[in-house]
Structure formats: C-alpha cells, structure tokens
Amino acid sequence: MAHFGTNQFYTNWQFVPGYRNGSAPYGVWAVQAVYVLTAYLNGTDTCAQAGVVCQDDVAVLLLNPQNNAYPGAATGWYGYGFDGTGFTGGLTHITQLGYPGCLDNSFYMERNDSHGFTSASYASNTIIGSLMCEGSSGGPWLVNFGRRPSLTGTTAGTAPDPNLVVGVTSWGSTNTGPKEQGASSFTSTNIVPLVNAACTAVPAACS
C-alpha cells in the first residue's frame, strides 16, 4: 500500500473478492482511500529488517461502494482481533489465505494451516510455516477459522470468537529451504486507530 520510509503511497489498488482463475464473482472494487501509520510511512517504525519485518506493516483500505453497498453485503465478512486475541502464551493456530505466484500461478485462492508464534526478535511479528510466496502479501491470517458447530458435549473455550483476522501476510523467507512467512501482529496501536480513522471518515462503510 505504501513504500516504507518514503511517505509515498502506491496507487490504482483494486479488490476482487472470491477471484478464481479469471472470474470475479463479486465484482471488482476500487479503493477510495488507504490508511497507514505515520511511522511506517516515514520509516521510523520498529523493524527487525527495515521495510520488511516491521512492527506496523498494517493498512486499512476503504473501498468505493457500488449501488450504495460494499462487498460484505454479498460475501459476508470476517471480524478482527488484536493484542493477542486467540493466542495462548504467544502461540495459536493460524489459517492463512492468499494468492501466491508459486502455487497455481496465483489463479486460485490457497489455504494454509499452521502453528503460529510471536517472535520478539522479529519485531513481535507472528511467524508460521507456509508454502506460500510472493503474491500472498495482504492475505488474511485468521484464528478459529470456519463454520462453528453446535456444541453438544463441550464448551467453546476461552477464546471462542470465530473467523477473526489477527494479521495479514507481510513477508516470507527468500530462501527456498525454510518455508515460513510472517505478519505484523494486530494491536491496539496499529489496526485499531486505522479502522477507527476509516470508520470516522465513512461511517456507512462500517455499519
């Protein structure tokens, strides 16, 4: 969305929900505005590797509505979690979605399920095992992914909320040996102010 440390935004972003091998079943949506933290834009963000493995490599895109509606009216939507939602002792199970160029030439949405852990030495990023590569950036990392079953002999546990995005793919190893990728963890100091800014600017997008 933005070029780290240069105060420069990229342009002409589009969102194609449900894209599959050239098909756009829910249309193509233009981006109206992008919200990124100032620290990432000006290069003062805390990073283990400048511009790559950073604490706040997070953005919120505000779409232009079509016929007074947003994609979620047709597709449904995920929630989001922050400050360790779904994690226990810095660990959780992550479901990653994306369109990596090294799998099916980015023609199909790919899914990866992995143990995820928070790494202090990697700017508090979450790291997972993943076969995905370039092109998967921006894809969601979810906890408690999927349709919830009826509970007939157990409880929901201490972090039951389903389908919560807790990060998006930020980076991956350029070495083809270790199959891993990382994401800036969603926190109350990055994703929350960005969502609040977008919702304040266009309340209808968040209703």
**pLDDT tens, position by position, 67-86:** 999 999 999 999 999 999 99
**What token pair was written down for 189?**
């100091």
Mean pLDDT across the chain: 94
Q: Which of 89, 72, 76, 63 is nearest to 159 (CA)?
A: 89
Which CA distances in Å does 11 have to 15, 31, 112, 120? Answer: 13, 9, 29, 33
Q: Could you tell me the residue range of the domain that residue 199 belongs to? A: 2-206
| E strand or H helix that includes residue 72 | helix 72-75
Identify whether the C-beta of residue 34 lies closer than 8 Å to the C-beta of residue 1. Answer: yes
Say if residue 159's pLDDT is above 90.
no
Say if residue 158's pLDDT is above 80.
yes
Instruction: Give the burial string for 175-192 (b: 16+ CB within 10 Å, else e).
Output: eeeebbbbbbbbbeebbe
pLDDT of residue 6: 87
**Domain harbouring 114, CATH code:** 2.40.10.10
pLDDT of residue 9: 83
Half-sphere exposure of 18 (CA within 13 A, CB side): 12
Rounded Cα distance, 73 and 146, in Å: 19
**29-70 residue pLDDT tens:** 999 999 999 999 999 999 999 999 999 999 999 999 999 999
50 burial via Cβ count (<10 Å: 0-12, 13-18, 19+): exposed
Say if residue 132's pLDDT is above 90.
yes
Work out the average pLDDT over 172-179: 84
pLDDT of residue 1: 65
**What token pair was written down for 87?**
């994690």
What is the total count of domains within the chain? 1
Among the ranges given (5-9, 140-144, 166-170), the one the predictor scored with the smallest mean pLDDT: 5-9
pLDDT of residue 182: 97
pLDDT of residue 8: 81
